[in-house]
Structure 1
């Protein structure tokens, strides 16, 4: 009884006719750090320089807040709905930074031989620095654009330069890089992200 039932329950040690023995397991690509450091520094530098055009474009697109002079000492009175432009200034800057992040993510992805987390993090850092510098430079450009040459008279309506009153808007740039790069990496689907040109 034990001899007849033994072979039925014993797993077969012989490989099937279509099985192929695996002698070497395929190695998964490792993260390249050292070779990508110099390109990563270049990416951070180039993206940081883009803070100047970002600040200039924002200073021209952001709407100014109109106020009325109500006293001889320059006291300002708010006009109806004009205070909403303070949010509009943040929204314009946020969309510009988000667009810069998306474009930077796509361009960095096109650097095929440098794809990976090192250059991706460099792009995130570069866009964050560009947005931070643009937040500091933008109001200066706007103040120069909306400068008042002569003291306004009582009852006159003047335009106040756009301003950025929150640092949270700086998150939109790195968010754009992350979304663009992550979508492209997911679409690629390769272990090495297609770094090998062959």
Structure 2
């Protein structure tokens, strides 16, 4: 009777410290993602009316969506790169590292929204009091936090596809 090789088990304890390090590294990557967003997202041109009321010019209110779309696309691209890069860590492949990468992507997306808005506010700061009738550029902003799911979703999708495509029970962890 032929004996089947033992099924590989999930390594948790050995992968825990690398997973925390990976989560932190991916999370910190949210700062440059926010900076890139602040450069790419278009400002909204508004006209100043009585009482400091700001009214968007015609078709300028669409830039609110543009800011969301640009952030989502940057997040998805970062998620794809993250998923592939984490998969290349051959000795650490598995669910612990995947969960760390997804949570790191969520942290990066949140940090990117906070820092990106801060960078944009600094770039489009109004230095003088505008007069009634002036047209000024309002900094891009993110009005929906639904963009937070783009990066972790792309990371999980890419990592999952690569794991499914692998076909080895141990995901190729052992090099021999």
Q: TM-score, normalised by structure 1?
A: 0.86
The equivalences for 1:140-159 within 5 A come to 140-159=118-137
Alignment correspondent of 1:80: 58
**What's the CA shift for 1:76?**
1.9
Kindly indicate whether residue 49 of structure 2 is the aligned counterpart of residue 105 of structure 1. Answer: no
| Separation of aligned partners in 2, 1:50 and 1:124 | 13
Write out per-residue CA displacement over residues 64-112 of structure 1, whole angstroms, 9 at most, x where no aligned residue. Answer: 11011133x3222221111111111111111111111111110000000
Alignment correspondent of 1:64: 43
Alignment correspondent of 2:14: 35
Considering Cα pairs closer than 8 Å and 6+ residues apart, tell me whether 1 or 2 has the greater RCO.
Answer: 2
Q: Which runs of 4+ in 1 moved over 6 A?
A: none
**What's the CA shift for 1:119?**
0.3
State the SS of the aligned residue for 2:52.
coil
**What's the CA shift for 1:150?**
0.9
**What's the CA shift for 1:35?**
0.7
Structure 2: unaligned runs, 5 residues or longer: none
Alignment correspondent of 2:99: 121
| Separation of aligned partners in 2, 1:134 and 1:90 | 12
More helix by share: 2
Q: TM-score, normalised by structure 2?
A: 0.96
Kindly indicate whether residue 158 of structure 2 is the aligned counterpart of residue 193 of structure 1. Answer: no
**Of the candidates 141, 156, 175, which is equivalent to residue 178 of structure 1?**
156
Aligned residue-pair number: 176
State the SS of the aligned residue for 2:175.
coil
| Separation of aligned partners in 2, 1:188 and 1:77 | 54
State the SS of the aligned residue for 1:155.
coil
Structure 1: unaligned runs, 5 residues or longer: 1-20
